[in-house]
Amino acid sequence: MSKENKQPVYTLEEVSALYARPLLDLVYEAASIHRTNHDANEMQICTLLSIKTGGCTEDCGYCSQSVHNDAELEKEILLKTDDVLKQARKAKESGSTRFCMGAAWPKVLDGRAFDRVCDMVKGVSDMGMEACCTLGMLTEEQAIKLKEAGLTAYNHNLDTSEEFYDKVVTTRKFDERLDTLKNIARAGISACCGGILGLGESEEDRISLLHTLSNLDPQPESVPINMLVPVKGTPMENNEMLDIFEWIRAIAVARILMPKSMVRLSAGRLTISKEAQALAFMAGANAIFTGEKLLTTPNPEKDADYALLDSLGIKPRKPFKDKECVSKKAISA
């Protein structure tokens, strides 16, 4: 692989060749790279909270919260700061070190709602937890405000390949996602950026997504790998579950291409066996969301997750372990 200013630049051919390797060779290499860059017996435990649920005007084909879909959902206006901080405290007490607040907004609008989210971020960060938000598209000025409030990371996924993007979302362009990622980087906030598998994409699309993600500069601090949760009332409700070894393959390739990033098992774990999750941990996944709900869909029970980690001898990771995860280049840009 060619190297330039420490930031690796991968060609599509290189990523394709990597993706095509025998699965166990990939897992072996990913595990070795993982062990060089991380403590392989440590897991980052994060908790998600939907702070504003439903009524989103984007038409993401997988999402329960889009007004274009017909999912059964209890909509909620923006929660109150105190209620959010109560949930954050509970999450902290149960062992979570990162609290991620999600809003079903296509983009952030300046005003009272955004100011309230900044207060929430400040409250979570004052508790000594890493604060993360996912609020849709964002300007550089808004990103700076969140940074000043104490935000650790901003989640903004590319979701799928540029080529497949308009089969999944038509109300925005792939490039608009990249613009927000640039604004996040300019504000010196770490990006949490990944995708969803099982949308009906091809292997080439998964390769293309991993290629784009790994060439982001800086590489994302965290890479969520979501497995589609097929939600009734969405165009993807009858999608077949992706072969579990494709999921493992994508995780291993993500770990090899982005050695320093946290690779996060996100949506879809409820239908994935603990043996497959253990193989994913072997292949370099080192972060999970715990708690019985993600944003709107179910997740494994906390106790089941802790029992799984315990039986594997995996310990929770401390907050703010990697202060260097925010690229100096991003700060000075």
Binding residues for ligand DTB, rule: CB under 6 A, are 48, 64, 100, 102, 134, 155, 157, 194, 224, 226, 229, 266-267, 294-297
Name the amino acid, one letter, at 220. Answer: P
Nearer to ligand SAM, 114 or 314 (CB): 114
Neighbours of 252 (CB within 10 A): 31
Instruction: State both tokens at 56.
Output: 């989103």
37 binds, among ligand SAM, ligand DTB, ligand SF4, none (CB under 5 to 8 A by kind): none
Please identify which of the residues 132, 133, 193, 325 carries the catalytic annotation: 132
**CA dihedral of residues 132, 165, 173, 100 (deg, nearest 10):** -10
- SS3 state of residue 263: strand
HSE value, Cβ hemisphere, 13 Å, CA-based, for 259? 12
196 in contact with ligand SF4 (CB under 6 A): no
Among ligand SF4, ligand DTB, ligand SAM, none, the one that 66 touches (CB under a kind-dependent 5 to 8 A) is ligand SF4
Active site residue 118: no
Please give the Cα distance from 236 to 201 (Å, whole number).
12
Give me the catalytic one of 46, 63, 133, 193. 63
Which residues contact ligand SAM (rule: CB under 6 A)? Answer: 62-63, 102, 104-105, 134, 136, 156-157, 159, 196, 226, 228-229, 231, 267, 295
User: Residue 69 or residue 261: which is nearer to ligand SF4 going by CB?
Assistant: 69
Residue 104 found at the interface with ligand SF4 (CB under 6 A): yes
Residue type, 34: H
Of 15-23, 60-68, 177-185, 320-328, the window that binds ligand SF4 (rule: CB under 6 A) is: 60-68
- What the block records as the tokens of 110 is 């300046």
DSSP-derived 3-state class of residue 259: coil
CA distances from 312 to 219, 237, 247, 305, 330 (A): 29, 33, 20, 11, 37
- 264 flagged as catalytic: yes
286 binds, among ligand DTB, ligand SF4, ligand SAM, none (CB under 5 to 8 A by kind): none
3-state DSSP assignment of residue 228: coil
Q: Let me know if 325 is a catalytic residue.
A: no
Active site members: 56, 60, 63, 100, 132, 192, 264
